[in-house]
Amino acid sequence: MRTPYVLIVGCGRLGSHLANLLSAQAHRVVVIDRNEAAFARLSAESFSGFRVVGDASEPAVLRKAGIEKSDLLITATHEDNLNLMVALVAKRVFAVPHVMARVYDPARERLYHDLGVETVCPTLVAAEHFFDLLSRAAGSGGGAK
C-alpha cells in the first residue's frame, strides 16, 4: 500500500504531537503554520516530514502543501473558524478522503457535523472522560458518599 500523505494545519501542541506520531509511523506528513517558530515543537528524532509557512485560509498555501494528493487532513489551529473553513475546503473543494477538525466551541461542532466535517471537540471529549471517571468512582465506591 502507498504511504498515506497527511496534511496537518496548525503546529501547536496538538498539531505537533500528531505530526510527530504520524511521522514516526512512516506517514508522509506536511505541517502548515503561519508562524515559523511553531515548528520548534516538531521532534528532531521522530519528525521527518515537511514544514510550510503560510496562512491555510489561502488556497495557494494549501496547494503548495500538497492538498491535492492528501489522504488525510487534520486542522488543529487555535481558531475554530479557520479549522472549519480549511476542513470544508479540503472536503468539498479538494475532495480529500478523510478530513477532521478540532473545534473548541460545542455549538459550532454541531453545525459542522451537519455539513459533513468530522470534528473533535476537546471540551466534550474531556467532559465525557470526566463523567466516565466519576461514574466509575461512584460505582466502585458503592455510593460511599
Partner 1 sequence: MKAILVGAGRPLYFLAQTFRRKDHAVTLIVRDAAESSWLANQSDATVVHGDGSNDRVLEDAGARSADLVLAATANDADNLIICQQARARFAVPRAVALVNDPDNQAIFAALGVDAISPSMTVASLVEQWATCDRVTHLVPAGNGKVTISEVTLGDSFAFAGRPIAELGFPRDALIAVVMRDAETLVPRGDTKLQRGDRVLLVALAESHGLALQLLTGGG
Q: Which residues bind partner 1 (CB under 8 A)?
A: 57-60, 79-82, 84-86, 88-89, 92-93, 105, 107-108, 111, 114-115
Structural contact between residues 51 and 26, judged by C-beta atoms closer than 8 angstroms: no
Pick between residue 22 and residue 99 the one whose CB is nearest to partner 1.
Answer: 99
CB-nearer residue toward partner 1: 78 or 136: 78
Edge to edge, the sheet with strand 5-9 lists 50-53, 28-33, 5-9, 72-75, 98-102, 118-120
The CA distance from 96 to 44, in Å, is 28
In whole angstroms, how close is the CB of 90 to partner 1 at the nearest point? Answer: 11
Comparing CB distances to partner 1, the nearer of 58 and 132 is 58
CB of 40 vs partner 1, minimal distance in Å? 25
CB of 88 within 8 A of CB of 20? no
CA of residue 42 relative to chain centroid, distance: 15
Q: How far is the CB of 82 from partner 1 (least distance, A)?
A: 4
